[in-house]
Amino acid sequence: MILSVRKVIIPVLAIFNLLSVSCSQSGGKVSSDTDSLADQNSRTAVSTVVKAKDMNFTANELGKVMVLEYHLIGYPEDRWRRTPENFRKDLQMLYDNDFYPVSVLDIARGNLNVPAGKTPFAITLDDSSAGQFRYLEKNGQLVIDPNCALGIMEDFRKKYKDFPITASFYVLPAIKPKLRLFAQPEYQKQKLEWLVKNGYEIGSHNWYHSMLSKLSDAEVQKHLSMFVKEIKAFIPDYEVKTMALPLGMHAKNRVLESKGEFEGTRYNHQAVLLVGSVSSVSPFSKDFNPLAIQRVQAGEHTENPETFMKSQIKHKTRFVSDGDPKSISAPEKLKDQLKPGLDKKFNIKWVKEEEKSTES
């Protein structure tokens, strides 16, 4: 049985004066470029040390963050397929254990407005199959299939108002019909517009899922630029900002994964995602690279989200928010893990854990 993190980490932190923090949250919406770490207004940093006994939970904003990776949603359960029931189970597990949904861009930019005691996570769905977003006709009207991934997430959003669920869909615009933009060609534009309007992200998964490692530099730029061109044919004003590597294979020239151009069409990816099997480090960590973000593949296999969650709770390695987006709080022993320069943008608060008493 999974122990609720509410029993391990109580979401109150009076020492950080949380009453002054705005109650409004990002809701997982994609932020503008001005929200990036590089573009934030400089602040006068305050580096302080507080004692763990003065807190009601231990903040650790240098802890691990899970970026979840899904593919097919349908039957039967398989390595690359999650059933609707198990997808619901995953969401419930995350909610019950104090996780909080954010976007991939929020993680990439270190733009985390997360309630105190909560752990940010992101949902990604690769390949744009029908089970991710399906329309059904009911009484002469189009409705979202309640058993597709989007229908399940929307139902969860309505049920839990304090869990502003969002996701990044890494779509394929030029692949075989069963994977091409959710497999209902007559609704391609309508679906893409719906996702963007309702706070979800459209990300690149390449023109037609080709392995970048097998392409020349010119071909890499062609495939990634053609993705942008095809998406803009449906939603002209949309800017594609993140990309998931097909099969996790890097281009020979990795610089071209983030920026390039073909026949006047440019792409500029602020985040690049790998194929999952590992939790990501904190975006505030010196080891974090937004152009190589690790993911955890959902499923019943060994290295799944539940396994990582249990390990991180047991070893106290998960990211735990202090509730203040203007500060970074973490155990004092992790000082050497902080990315250089962040002390000029955030108030840094180091948590000093008390030694265990030897008295009976």
**What structural domains and CATH numbers belong to the chain?**
43-59+324-352 (no CATH), 60-321 (3.20.20.370)
Q: State the pairing for strand pair 141-144/135-138.
A: antiparallel
Alpha helix segments (H runs only) across the chain: 5-8, 84-96, 104-109, 149-159, 188-197, 217-234, 305-315
Q: CA 163, 244, 170: angle at the middle one, nearest 5? A: 60
The confidence score (pLDDT) of residue 57 equals 79
The confidence score (pLDDT) of residue 123 equals 98
The confidence score (pLDDT) of residue 5 equals 39
Query: pTM surpassing 0.75?
Result: yes
- Helices 217-234 and 188-197: crossing angle, nearest 10°? 90
**Contact partners, residue 24, CB within 8 Å, separation at least 6:** none
In degrees and rounded to multiples of 5, residue 68 shows phi and psi of: -85, 140
C-beta atoms surrounding 270 within 10 Å: 18
Using an 8 Å Cβ cutoff, are 311 and 96 in contact? no
C-beta atoms surrounding 310 within 10 Å: 13
**Contact partners, residue 320, CB within 8 Å, separation at least 6:** 9, 57, 58, 59, 60, 61, 63, 117, 118, 119
* 29-32 contact pairs (CB < 8 A, 24+): 29/103, 29/166, 29/199, 30/103, 30/105, 30/199, 30/201, 30/241, 31/103, 31/105, 31/106, 31/109, 31/111
Whole-number Å distance between alpha carbons of 321 and 120: 8
Query: Which tokens is 230 given?
Result: 């095809």
**Contact partners, residue 227, CB within 8 Å, separation at least 6:** 173, 204, 205, 206, 207, 240, 267
**Contact partners, residue 225, CB within 8 Å, separation at least 6:** 260, 261, 262, 263, 265, 266, 267
Instruction: Report mean pLDDT in 10-residue bins for the chain, 360 residues.
Output: 39 36 35 35 47 68 98 96 98 98 98 97 97 96 98 98 98 94 97 98 97 98 98 98 97 98 98 94 98 96 94 96 98 97 97 56
Query: Which tokens is 162 given?
Result: 């304090």
Whole-number Å distance between alpha carbons of 280 and 318: 10
Instruction: From residue 212, give the alpha-carbon distance in Å to each of 7, 184, 228, 246.
Output: 45, 27, 16, 8
Using an 8 Å Cβ cutoff, are 132 and 183 in contact? no
Whole-number Å distance between alpha carbons of 253 and 259: 11
Helix, strand or coil for residue 229?
A: helix
Burial class (CB in 10 A: 0-12, 13-18, 19+), 207: buried
